[in-house]
Amino acid sequence: MSIKAFFVSVCVLVLTGCPDHNEPERPRYGPDPAYRSISVVVPQHYDAWVETFILESVSGEIGWRAPIGSVSCCWKEPSGGNAEWQAMPGLVLIKWFSFAEQQSYRALIKLENAREIEEKMKEIAPIERYGKIFEMPRNDLTFGLAPGGTVVVWIMNGAENAIEVGRYSARKIETHPEHYHEITERYQRDSQEYIDKHGIPVDDW
């Protein structure tokens, strides 16, 4: 390659590789049809440790595990522990330990009408953030884990426009509270007074 051809190649790479600073930035918060997330949440004061969170796509061709771990808040909010969206899940396995109850649960959830849920998530719903109204898809699939083993599933971009799309029951399984001893101690320092005063509402979900 001649020196002239070399410099022409470098110039082309520079021009194509550098962003156009005159091009407007994409909004940091706003509609993005490609964005999806999956969240695991609990009611306030009823923390959980999600030991297992495995998802399988509707097609059955994609399966993935999400390391959720500790979840402390917030019921019916797209927060808590978040998982990467790889495909619309049709089957979800959740195993968690409830600190308030000192009990482990397991739920194998087959999402009913998963394709319909996926399409409904694309619908635009207004949400207020930072004093402004944004028009966004309901782009979060949220799994709420409640005392007593209830699992509620919503689609939302915020609690104010959540739509419940499923309700399931987990079963109690063999529990080893000693595995969570240190985290339980921290949880009790923060929430035991509330639990003693209000109890554990296992039937209100």
Residue 5 half-sphere exposure, CB side, CA atoms within 13 Å? 2
pLDDT at 71: 95
DSSP symbol at 102 = T
pLDDT for the residue numbered 33: 55
Q: Dihedral (C-alpha) 8, 11, 13, 16: value to the nearest 10 degrees? A: -120
Task: Specify the pairing of strand 140-145 against strand 37-41.
Answer: parallel
> H helices of the chain, where?
3-17, 114-121, 181-198
Give, in order, the Cα–Cα distances in Å from 164 to each of 19, 55, 85, 117, 147: 42, 19, 19, 10, 18
pLDDT, tens digit, 9 for 90 and up, residues 76-117: 888 878 888 889 999 999 999 999 999 999 999 999 899 999
pLDDT, tens digit, for every residue of 112-166?
899 999 999 999 999 888 888 988 899 999 999 999 999 999 999 999 999 999 9
